Structure 1
Amino acid sequence: MAQSIAEQIAEVQELLKSREHASGDLVAALKKARRRLPRRIFNQGMVLAQAIPLMDHPKLRLTLDEPALRKAAREVTTHLKSIDLADRRKGRVLDVLSSMAFSLLVVFALLIVVLRWRGLI
C-alpha cells in the first residue's frame, strides 16, 4: 500500500534523526545535516519541507505536485537508509589517528632538524 506524502515526510524526519542526529522539524533537521548531505538530497529535502505548510490547507493542497514530492521523498529516504553508521564512525577514528600520526612525524622531523642545526647529530 502506498504511503501518503505526510507519512513519507515523517519517515524522512525519523531517518534524519536516527542517521544524521539532526532533530527538530524538517527544515531545522536538514539545516543541521546540510554539510553531510549531498546538495541534491538537501534540495529534495527542502522541497518536502516547503510542501508541509501547504498540505494543511485544503485548497492549497491541490496545488502540490504529488509525483514530484513522492519522488523527492523516495530519493531522500533511499540516501538516508544507505548511510552506514559503522563505516562513518570508522572513518572518523581513522581521520583522528592519521592527523595524530602526521603531527608526530612533523614533530620528529623538526626535532631532527634542530638537533642537526645545533650539531648534536
Structure 2
Amino acid sequence: MTGNDQIQDQIAVTVALLRERLGVRGKTLRQALRRAKHRLPRRVYRRAMILARVENMVDHPKLRLTLNSPQLLSAAGELQTFLRSIDLADRRKGWWLGMLGGLAFNILVFAVLLLAFLAWRKII
C-alpha cells in the first residue's frame, strides 16, 4: 500500500471517528471539521485542516505525487489519537451535571428573590 492510499484510508477513518465521537455529520473531512471546529483544540484543528486541504488532491493522480505523505500521516495520527481519547460516558455525565448545576442555581436565585419579595412586603 502506498503512502497516498494510506492517506485516503486515514481520512476515511478520521471522518468516521468524528461522526462517532463528536456526532458531527459531513460527507467530506472539510465539512465535518467545519462543524467540529469549536470542539477541537486549536493545535489539533490546524493539523486536521492540513488533511482537509489535500483531501481532493489525493484523488487526482498527478497532484497526488506532490503531497508530503509523512506529514499528512502524522497529522492524521494526531487527530485520531485525540478523537480516540474522548470519553463519551464522561461527556454525557458532564452534560447532565452542567444541566443540574444550572437548574440548582436557578432555583436558588428564585428562592432568594422570593424571600426578598416577602420581606419587602413584610409577610415574613
Question: Considering the TM-score relative to the shorter chain, is it more than 0.5?
Answer: yes
**Which of 41, 46, 69 is the matching residue for 2:44?**
41
Q: 2:29·2:55 contact (CA, 8 Å) conserved in 1?
A: no
**Could you list the runs of 4 or more consecutive aligned residues of structure 1 that deviate by over 4 angstroms after TM superposition?**
none
Q: Residues 77-88 of structure 1: matches in 2 within 5 Å?
A: 77-88=80-91
**CA apart distance, 1:59:** 2.0
Q: Which residue of 1 aligns with 2:68?
A: 65
**CA apart distance, 1:56:** 1.7
Q: Which residue of 1 aligns with 2:12?
A: 10
1:50-86 CA-to-partner distances (Å, cap 9, x unmatched) read: 1111112222112111111011000000000000000
Q: 2:44·2:79 contact (CA, 8 Å) conserved in 1?
A: yes
**CA apart distance, 1:114:** 0.7
Q: 2:10·2:76 contact (CA, 8 Å) conserved in 1?
A: yes
Aligned counterparts of 2:65 and 2:9: Cα–Cα separation in 1: 18
Secondary structure at the aligned position of 1:22 is classed as coil
User: With structure 2 as the length reference, what TM-score do the two structures score?
Assistant: 0.92
User: With structure 1 as the length reference, what TM-score do the two structures score?
Assistant: 0.94
CA RMSD between the two structures: 1.5
Task: Give the number of aligned pairs.
Answer: 121
Percent identity, aligned pairs only, is 49
Q: Which moved more, 1:2-11 or 1:110-119?
A: 2-11
Aligned counterparts of 2:108 and 2:25: Cα–Cα separation in 1: 40
Stretches of structure 1 that go unaligned for 5 or more consecutive residues are none
Aligned counterparts of 1:111 and 1:23: Cα–Cα separation in 2: 45
Q: Which moved more, 1:67-76 or 1:31-40?
A: 31-40
Aligned counterparts of 1:20 and 1:113: Cα–Cα separation in 2: 44
Q: Which moved more, 1:94-103 or 1:63-72?
A: 63-72
